[in-house]
Chains A and B, each alone.
Chain A
Amino acid sequence: LAALGNATIILVLLLSSWATALAIVGGRRGSQRLVGAAELLVHSLAAITSVAMLVLIYGMLVSDYSMSYVHSHSERAMPMFYRVTAVWAGMEGSMLTWVWSLALVSSLAVAANRERLRVMLPQVIALLMSVVMFFGVLMLLHSNPFLPFLGATPMTGKGLNPLLQNPYMVTHPPTLYLGFVGLTVPFAFGFAALLTKQTDDAWIRAARPWALWAWYFLSLGLVLGMLWAYEELGWGGYWGWDPVENAALMPWLVATGFLHSIIVQERRQMFRGWSVVLALLAFVATIVGTFMTRSGFIDSVHAFARSSIGYVFLVYIALLLLAGTVLIVANWRLLKADNEIDGLLSRESVVLVNNWLLLAMTLLVLVLTILPNLSELFLGEKINISVKEFRRWVTPLGLLLLLFTAVGPLLAFRRTRTESLRRQLLWPALIGLVVAGGAGAIGGRDPQALLAWFLATLLCAAVVQELGRAALLRMRGGEVGFIGGLIDQIADNRRRYGGYIVHVGVALMCAGFAGDAFKHKQDVLLTPGQRVKVGDYELRYDGIRVTRDPQKTMVTASLTAYHDKKPVAVMQPARWFFATRPNEPTSEVSIRRSMREDLFIALGRYSEGGKHAGFMVVLNPLVNLVWIGFLVMTLGTLIAGIPVRKRKPRRASAEAKP
């Protein structure tokens, strides 16, 4: 198996370099034949990386410990699900997963755009394949998952890190990889547009679905990571500004800017430079994120081990930025806008401000993340950045972004009359004030949280108002009622209203984030039968029991939660001790969810037989709005992103024809 796996990696390198060479020569000579051959090699590469992936999965399934990677990350007693997903649990396997998803996405992108982007196809192929080549070389020389186990083949494996044996953690990496590799496509299209001087809107129309889905998968990956942190790490929160979380947040922020920028380019033939720069930066951000996760340069709860691979990534990032800058400067005249911003109160202005804010936030997150390492490197002293510091700097920018997200859709392209904006803002702002005022009246005293709730409500109300106006317009046309009109308008304008629904999701998530300001955390030490009051809850500790399965020993505590003196839940926080890693117990928290707040309990230290047990009890207000907001975001993305039937422009043909 190891030999077959190694052969596939060498084939990946050969095919990607061959495809790159054919595409470059074909592009220069204008030979459709050479480009066509390169295109077929892209598909061949996708198939061969699938073989590599499946060989590794097969090795995991049959517990082939002659492969070092299989031995280090799996063991026979593990459930089959975790044995398969252990493929991306380590550095080497995750690198293969990355190359595999990149090869598949490249194949799909080339197949879907071979006619649409015929002129720039050679450059697109060359760029995509060069990225595959880069990761292929890294995999072969540094992170090869098919290296044989040195010495006699062991009978048992080391098993998977217990923290990773969680459904959220199993799905979190592949979704992030899909987001990361998805952003390679807009980068390749944007760069190819510059190389071929085809900087009109064709490449952004082709890149949009890739950017949208990549953005969505990044969002999904981030949320799955948050859920994992919340339920598995047992510290009572879901976002700790961990460097690896930040590594995925940065490309998300830039991709958000890209998605908005291309709307303006399509409508107003402006922001051509912005679109190209953001496509490049989104891709660079994914490489920066990979560097942060894999170099060991930063300390994180789920970064891979320290390695020399970081320098290679740094050189690659520098080369990308250099090549990008040269190309953009060389094509500056082509990137100039056909139009200019006509008024400050316009959609274009808001998108421009948003772009700057998103870039500023990305840079801020990057600087704060690497500051401890930079300070250690240059000052000889490590300056640690706390979660509080992160919040202090990032929250104001986040609130500004939320403000512009709320106001942006109310503005027209070109210019908006102040009176029109005032009229549109009146009701949403009043509703926002009522909600924020109400929250303040019942005890909410954090000004930033109140402002976040005001803006989130304003945004949601503005979207509802927009949908209402659109439905009424359709209703006036006759034949349909309000609901019918609403459905028709959403169906006919999926991109717009899908986007607005995504905005609502973001607003709900922000409202949930703001709830964190009112989080209540309490450590308690209890004896069986003892009761303790935490917020509106009363908890009674009932005891501890120990159970075993083939993989682990489970110590489970039992507590009864009372609300208004009535028992409402039996809480069972636990600690699991895996046989292969007895010194790394996992915390299995118990959560009682409600719209208002979560009651979260983690088991801490306990005495033999459970005569004393320590618990961390956390009340997390509005945390479920974060998850609900994400579901709304998913709905919006589905509406905006699912391909719709082809249509002809109304009146356009008749008017435009000579």
Chain B
Amino acid sequence: MTRPLKLLGIGVPLMLAIGTVAYEFVKGAPHLVTLAVAASAAACLGLSVVFLLRSMLLLSGDDSASGSSVGRRRRAVEADISALARTLEGIELDQGIGRVSSSEAAELAAPLRDRVAILEREAELLRGLELEGVDGEIEAEVRERVAARAEGDS
């Protein structure tokens, strides 16, 4: 997202809220809660307009309004890895307290470890792209490269 868009996202709701507060004071001394509710409504209205505007910009071909980034995708993949890591630790705990044997634990963990491996490769690629400063619609490319590697491995 570009700097002017970010500024617009904060500025419009803020201006509307301030305007509403001023209007309420002109009307008469308002109760603090009433004032807060009115200002929040105005700010929400501003926020809604800003999102609508960004949506229009995106439809008209301005990709800077999308807010999509390689960093976000990488963080999402890492969150998935983290969730799988917790499940794997659960299996290790079961093994530790003797609820499952080591062979059973290995068997239970195998598909999860495979999935982690695929996700780690994806995260690695994304980290590389991030370092190179590549941004935008890279989803398809990353997926293709991960799929090709996974195929090669198998």
Contact = CB atoms under 8 A, between A and B. Distances in A.
A binds B: yes
Contacts of B113: 649, 652, 655-656
A114 B72 contact: yes
Contacts of A114: 68, 72
A412 B153 CA distance: 32
B88 A495 contact: no
Contacts of B102: none
Given A36-B58, A412-B99, A648 B33 contact: no
A205 interface: yes
B51 A32 contact: no
B38 A58 contact: yes
B153 A658 contact: yes
Nearest to A115: B76
A205 B80 contact: yes
Nearest to A57: B37
- Chain B, interface size category, equals 35 or more
A80 interface: yes
A47 B85 contact: no
> Chain B interface secondary structure, helix, strand, loop or mixed?
helix
Interface string A471-501: 0010000000000000001001111100000
Interface in A47-63: 47-48, 50-51, 54-55, 57-58, 61-62
A492 B91 CA distance: 12
A658 B117 CA distance: 9
A37 B31 CA distance: 39
B100 interface: yes
Contacts of A43: 47, 51
Interface residues of A, number: 64
B144 interface: no
Contacts of A489: 93
Interface in B81-113: 81-94, 96-100, 104, 107-109, 111, 113
B99 A32 contact: no
Contacts of A473: 93, 96-97
B129 interface: no
Interface string B35-54: 00110110011011101101
A657 interface: yes
Nearest to B97: A469
B72 A115 contact: yes
Contacts of A57: 37
A41 B52 contact: yes
Interface stretch (A91-99, A266-274, A319-327): A266-274
Contact of B76 (A55, A116, A420, A492): A116
Given A32-B68, A58-B38, A650-B89, A40 B51 contact: yes
Contacts of B80: 116, 202, 205
A545 interface: no
A646 B82 contact: yes
A36 B59 CA distance: 9
Interface string B53-80: 0111011010101111000110111111
Contacts of A268: 108
Contact of A653 (B72, B75, B120): B120
A45 B98 CA distance: 52
Interface string A193-212: 00000000110010000000
Contact of A266 (B66, B87, B98, B109): B87
Q: Which of A47, A114, A492, A650 has the most CB of B within 10 A?
A: A47
A395 interface: no
B117 A653 contact: yes
A36 B64 CA distance: 11
B48 A412 contact: no
A551 interface: no
A493 B137 contact: no
* Shortest beta-carbon contacts, A-B, top 9: A656-B117, A44-B51, A47-B48, A54-B41, A115-B76, A40-B55, A649-B85, A116-B76, A50-B44
